[in-house]
Every structure is written in structure tokens, then in C-alpha cells.
Amino acid sequence: MLDYDGTLVPFHKQVNEAIPDAELLDMLTQLTKDPANDVVIISGRDYKTLETWLGELPLDFIAEHGAWYKYNAENEWNTAPDLNTNGLQSIMQMMNMYTKRTPGAFIEEKSYSIAWHYRRVEKDLGNLRAQELISDVKHIVGDMGLQVLQGDKVVEVKSMYINKGKAVKRWLDKDNYDFIIAIGDDHTDEDTFKAMPAEAYTIKVGKNISAATYFLNSYIEVRKLLRDLYLDDNTLKQGNKQFALM
Ligand SMILES: [Mg+2]
């Protein structure tokens, strides 16, 4: 189970610069070659972007933190129940005010959430405004069934009933995997880690405190690990056993 931004690709100033490179596409192709493997990309990104970038590959997807998901075998996107968008309009107004006061900030509207990005804002100002926005929004979201998430240079408001942990449960429930590895770098990946069974390998990318058992420094080390997995026949091809990479 693999997060995308900051885990498989480096963090970019422009959201759309994180297009998968040839090395990554090849790596995911290799990992999915064995039909016993399920490789799940779990991202906060909107599903259309993931479909455009990676839709050609035999991958499973969780998009928008679980609001959308797709099984490779079915090849069509599903929406999660419990989507709640009441109140997002007033959050949007609030974020618009913050965008006007913060040079470089911009809003990303997804189907079931709104994200306020400050990766292009001067660092101190960005951090300050983000904290102000979070405390403003926190006062009102609870009553609306919404929650605030702080990611890397982004504040996102979405339904409190959606998170990556709930989303990965669909996979954990549907198969009996012999080997599960989950990798992520963000706050939102903590929900993935916490949802994993005890025998799963959970890996945090970066140095923040985490529920994960292991740590890697960067996407470069993640790629090295994944490459070692499919290059090592003994690890990956033990008879007909099933493996899940989430
Ligand atoms: Mg990430």
C-alpha cells in the first residue's frame, strides 16, 4: 500500500509537477507483473489525476483519502458511502479570504473536499496563515460532519467519515495476504498504518513521529526497497502466496 506524493515521487512546488517518471512507471510495472500481487496507490489526490497518470497500469487505487477507490480487476471508480459535503461551501468562503491575504496560496477543489495549499507561500507567512486557518475552521467543522487535515504545506477539509485507514480495510477484508507492506510520509498515512494487522510492515518516510514500525529517509530509499523486493525472487515469489503492497 503505497502513498504517492513524498513517498514514490519527490515533493514539488507545483502540484502537477509530480508526474510519474519512467523509473517509477517501470517499477510499478514490475511489481504488478505477478498477478498474485495487489499494489494499491493510496493518495489524497483526485481520482482523475491518478487515472491520467497511472491508469494504464494494473494497479488498485484509493483517491482523495478514500472518497474514491478502484480495483484493478473492475476497472471502474467507486465512491465511498458516508460522503458528506454539506458545509464545504462555507469552508470555501473562509479559504478564499485566506487566499486573498496570502500571496502564493491557492485552493484545490476536489469532489468531496477542499484543500488550501501554501507550498508557494513564503515559509513563515505560510505556516502562520495555516495555523490561523486551522483554528478558524476547527470551530465550525465538527457540527458539519467535516474534519480538518494538515498535510505537507496543505490544509484540507473533508468528511470526517473518510480516511485512508477506512479505505484500506476494503483490501484487508477482501483477501488473506501473506505479506503486507504500507509506506507513507504524511499525517494522513497514519490512518493507514493504524489499520494494518500486526504482521504488516509499516514504513514512515521522513522523521516525524509515527505509528509505523520502520522509517526510511526519502522516496529514493523507498524506490530502492521496492526494487529489491521484485528483484529478490525468494522474497516475492514464494509459490502461489499472495502479497499486498499498499
Ligand atoms: Mg504523501
> pLDDT of 131-189, one tens digit each?
999 999 998 888 888 999 888 899 999 888 889 999 999 999 998 999 999 999 988 99
Helices 22-33, 219-231: axis angle to 10 degrees equals: 40
Q: Mark whether 153 and 32 lie in a shared domain.
A: no
Same domain, 75 and 139: no
Residue 187 CA to ligand 1 centre (angstroms): 8
How remote is the CA of residue 245 from the centroid of ligand 1, in Å?
16
pLDDT at 232: 64
Residue 37 has pLDDT above 90, yes or no: yes
Q: Which of 3, 5, 60, 185 is catalytic?
A: 3
The DSSP annotation for the chain comes to -EE-BTTTB---SSGGG-PPPHHHHHHHHHHHHSTTEEEEEE-SS-HHHHHHHHTTSS-EEEEGGGTEEE-TTT-S-EE-S----TTHHHHHHHHHHHHHTSTT-EEEE-SSEEEEE-TTS-HHHHHHHHHHHHHHHHHHHHHHTEEEEEETTEEEEEETT--HHHHHHHHHHH---SEEEEEE-STTHHHHHHHS-TTSEEEEESSS--S-SEEESSHHHHHHHHHHHHH-HHHH-STT--EEE-
Ligand 1 mean position, distance from CA 4 (Å): 6
CA of 59 to the centre of ligand 1 (A): 18
The answer, as to whether pTM is greater than 0.85, is no
Residues 165, 192 contacting (CB under 8 angstroms): yes
CA of 186 to the centre of ligand 1 (A): 5
Domain encompassing residue 107? 88-159
**CATH code for the domain of 47:** 3.40.50.1000
How do 201-205 and 214-216 pair as beta strands? parallel
Q: What confidence tens digit (pLDDT) does each residue in 38-97 have?
A: 999 999 999 999 999 999 999 999 999 999 999 998 989 999 886 777 789 889 999 999
31 shares a domain with 134? no
11 CA to centre of ligand 1 in angstroms: 8
- How far from 172 is each of 42, 167, 243, CA to CA, in Å? 14, 9, 11
Report the sign of the C-alpha dihedral through residues 129, 131, 135, 137, in that order: positive
Shared domain for 175 and 235, answered yes or no, is yes
Active site residue 38: no
Count CB neighbours of 222 within 10 A: 23
Whether residues 114 and 76 share a domain: the answer is no
In terms of residues, how long is the chain?
A: 246
**Phi, psi angle pair for 163, to nearest 5°:** -160, 170
Ligand 1 centroid to 7 CA: how many Å?
Answer: 6
Q: Quick one: 54 and 174 in the same domain?
A: yes
Q: How many domains does the chain have?
A: 2
Are residues 67 and 176 both part of a single domain? yes
Chain mean pLDDT for the chain:
90
> What pLDDT score was predicted for residue 234?
47
Judge if 215 and 239 occupy the same domain: yes
Separation of 180 CA from ligand 1 center, angstroms?
Answer: 19
Q: How far apart are CA 132 and CA 129, in angstroms?
A: 5
| Separation of CA 240 and ligand 1 centre (Å) | 31
Confidence of residue 240 (pLDDT cuts 50, 70, 90): very low
